[in-house]
């Protein structure tokens, strides 16, 4: 598989064609009108049409993800002598204020295969007002940039589409799919963003190391929160690899209508079962996103502490005070900095002592694995995939496409780079009263979720084994990995 991705990267530059001759018209005023023309851009092997020189811009947007530097290298590796690439520093905020630098092929020596986004930096500024579009338009014009690559997730690609619409005819805007959360998807043409595989491999290793340590010392329960804001793809992928003794996903909580007490009871019962079997240790895993779906946490995040304090009172625990909860410009809450892992640990401890488990019988340590996964050097898969995404973004630029995000269809057994029209991914968000690109959550009818549900009961009694499990060479969601029996 990785060889096929590399071959696609090394093949000569091709061109992209939309399925209709009026392809470039589909975007005009699209966000204001209806999105009834959404043509997939298919790659062809003939050379791109644009023969003149091109100045292109690139900006990282949102949280870092491993592979961003390889996206740049993917462009640089194919850059024609007459073209140039300008990088905007510090994300969309830096784009708005025109912070830029020329990127040369010499830069590849330093950044290829390097994790993080620190070569250019990033931020989460939302670009949505007419003034902002005009501002970006004049900065791009001054630099003679006629193609802009926005490397980002759902919010950033929402930015990309609105900007493509506003700058139609002046500058093409092309998205490159990034996010460790794995929630930017459009099946089958865009099954995965870069960064997801590396982050989940990184977290899997850390969680497995806790499992190994706890098995050796038989002393601690490790309560682990994993990054992944709305969707639980990260936790699901880690769980399928490491098989923690207990795990819960946000989508599972919603599907089962579970309350905070239901979740505490579930975790505590696993601990009690293992305690009775003389295994007073283990690993519990959950995503940070549970804070957005468990009703008591949601209330808490919205500044209401009563329902949380009712649960605490029921467990004979002291009430808590509100900590600061804020939202970024796109409406995302700071769930990573929310100390849910510690709170969950205390709640479980409270429940156990109510059930008569002595406080020294079960010792717990809480953990949060998040930011480090975004800085890890990309896996072979992410590195090859990001290079291909960069090359494909460049080909789309040469083909004069706009309002598309780079995709790659793996579903037919071969690698098919495509351009996915961002309009096809839009949805109306009634909470925010605007069109946005929808985050794709874990589907409870997906085969990964079904496997997880079938297996998790068995994990309660299982410990890590020697020899260790094989790490997933490819993201599980692509369905092309060799999976051991669960």
**Site of interaction with ligand FBP (CB under 6 A):** 62-63, 65, 153, 179-181, 227-229, 288, 335-336, 374
| Residues 171-198: b if buried by 16+ CB within 10 A, e if exposed | bbbbbbbbbbbbbbbbeebbbbbbbbbb
For ligand FBP, the nearest residue by Cβ is 62
Shortest spacing between CB 436 and ligand FBP, in angstroms:
13
Nearest one of 58, 67, 76, 88 to 151, comparing CA atoms: 58
* Closer residue to ligand FBP (CB): 336 or 400: 336
Q: Which is nearer to ligand FBP, 206 or 312 (CB)?
A: 206
CB of 229 to ligand FBP, least distance (A): 4
Given the complex with ligand FBP, which of 8 and 180 has the nearer CB atom?
Answer: 180
- Give the strand pairing for 404-409 and 416-421: antiparallel
Q: Report whether 114 contacts 377 (CB < 8 A).
A: yes
Q: To the nearest whole angstrom, how small is the minimum distance from the Cβ of residue 389 to ligand FBP? A: 15
Nearer to ligand FBP, 181 or 401 (CB): 181
Rounded least distance, CB 179 to ligand FBP, Å: 3
Strand, coil or helix: what is 176? Answer: strand
Q: Whole-angstrom Cα distance, residue 477 to residue 206?
A: 21
Name the 3-class secondary structure at 343: helix
Whether the Cβ atoms of residue 16 and residue 42 lie closer than 8 Å to each other: yes
- Residue number, 229 or 435, with CB nearest to ligand FBP: 229
Tokens standing for residue 335:
């769930």
Q: Report, in Å, the least distance between residue 288 CB and ligand FBP.
A: 6
Q: Which residues contact 312 (CB under 8 A, 6 or more apart)?
A: 318, 319, 320, 347, 350
Q: Which is nearer to ligand FBP, 336 or 451 (CB)?
A: 336
| Residue for token pair 């799919």 | 177
Neighbours of 12 (CB within 10 A): 8
Neighbour-count burial of 81, counting CB atoms closer than 10 A to its CB (0-12 exposed, 13-18 middle, 19+ buried): exposed
The partner residues of 223 in beta bridges, in order of sequence, read 284, 366
CB of 334 to ligand FBP, least distance (A): 6
| Inter-residue contact 439 to 459 (CB < 8 Å) | no
Decide: helix, strand or coil at residue 339.
coil
CB of 298 to ligand FBP, least distance (A): 16
The string of DSSP letters for 217-272 reads: H--EEEEEEE--SS--HHHHHHHHHH--SEE--HHHHHHHT--HHHHHHHHHHHHH
Which residue in 79, 70, 103 sits closest to 194, CA to CA?
70
Residue 314 phi, psi (nearest 5): -65, -25
Q: Which one, 74 or 370, has the nearer CB to ligand FBP?
A: 370
| Residues counted in the chain | 486
H or E, element range at 382: helix 380-398
| Least CB distance to ligand FBP at residue 329 (A) | 11
Pick the closer one to ligand FBP by CB: 57 or 287: 287
Enzyme catalytic residues? 181
């Amino acid at each position: 598989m990785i060889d096929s991705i590399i071959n696609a990267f090394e093949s000569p530059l091709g061109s992209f064609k939309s399925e209709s001759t009026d392809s470039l018209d589909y975007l005009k005023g699209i966000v204001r009108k209806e999105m009834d023309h959404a043509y997939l851009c298919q790659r062809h092997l003939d050379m791109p049409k644009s023969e003149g020189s091109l100045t292109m811009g690139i900006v990282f947007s949102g949280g870092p993800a491993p592979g961003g530097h390889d996206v740049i290298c993917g462009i640089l590796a194919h850059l024609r002598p007459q073209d140039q690439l300008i990088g905007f520093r510090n994300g969309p905020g830096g784009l708005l204020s025109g912070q830029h630098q020329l990127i040369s092929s010499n830069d590849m020596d330093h950044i290829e295969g390097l994790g993080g986004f620190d070569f250019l930096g990033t931020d989460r500024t939302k670009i949505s007002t007419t003034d902002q579009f005009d501002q970006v338009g004049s900065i791009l014009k001054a630099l003679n940039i006629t193609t802009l690559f926005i490397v980002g997730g759902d919010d950033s690609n929402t930015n990309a589409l609105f900007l493509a619409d506003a700058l139609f005819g002046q500058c093409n805007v092309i998205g490159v799919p990034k996010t460790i959360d794995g929630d930017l998807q459009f099946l089958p043409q865009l099954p995965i963003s870069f960064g997801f595989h590396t982050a989940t491999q990184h977290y899997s290793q850390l969680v497995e190391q806790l499992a190994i340590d706890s098995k050796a010392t038989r002393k601690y329960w490790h309560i682990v929160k994993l990054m992944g804001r709305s969707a639980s793809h990260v936790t699901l992928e880690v769980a399928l690899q490491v098989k923690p003794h207990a795990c819960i996903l946000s989508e599972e909580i919603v599907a089962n209508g579970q309350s905070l007490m239901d979740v505490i009871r579930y975790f505590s019962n696993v601990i009690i079962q293992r305690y009775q079997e003389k295994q007073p240790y283990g690993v519990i895993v959950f995503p940070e996103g549970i804070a957005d779906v468990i009703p008591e946490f949601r209330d808490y995040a919205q500044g209401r502490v009563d329902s949380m304090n009712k649960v605490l009172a029921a467990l004979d625990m002291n009430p808590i005070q509100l900590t600061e909860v804020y939202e970024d410009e796109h409406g995302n809450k700071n769930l990573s900095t929310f100390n849910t892992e510690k709170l969950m640990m205390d709640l479980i401890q409270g429940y156990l002592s109510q059930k008569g488990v002595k406080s020294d019988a079960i010792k717990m340590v809480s953990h949060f694995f998040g930011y480090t996964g975004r800085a890890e050097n990309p896996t072979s898969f992410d590195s090859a995939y990001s290079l291909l995404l960069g090359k494909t973004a460049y080909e789309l630029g040469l083909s004069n496409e706009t309002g598309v995000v780079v995709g790659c269809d793996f579903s037919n057994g071969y690698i098919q780079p495509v351009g996915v029209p961002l309009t096809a991914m839009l949805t109306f968000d009634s909470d925010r009263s605007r069109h946005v690109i929808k985050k794709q959550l874990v589907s409870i009818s997906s085969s990964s979720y079904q496997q997880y549900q079938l297996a998790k009961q068995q994990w309660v009694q299982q410990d890590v084994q020697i020899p260790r499990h094989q790490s997933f060479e490819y993201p599980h969601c692509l369905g092309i990995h060799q999976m051991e029996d669960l």
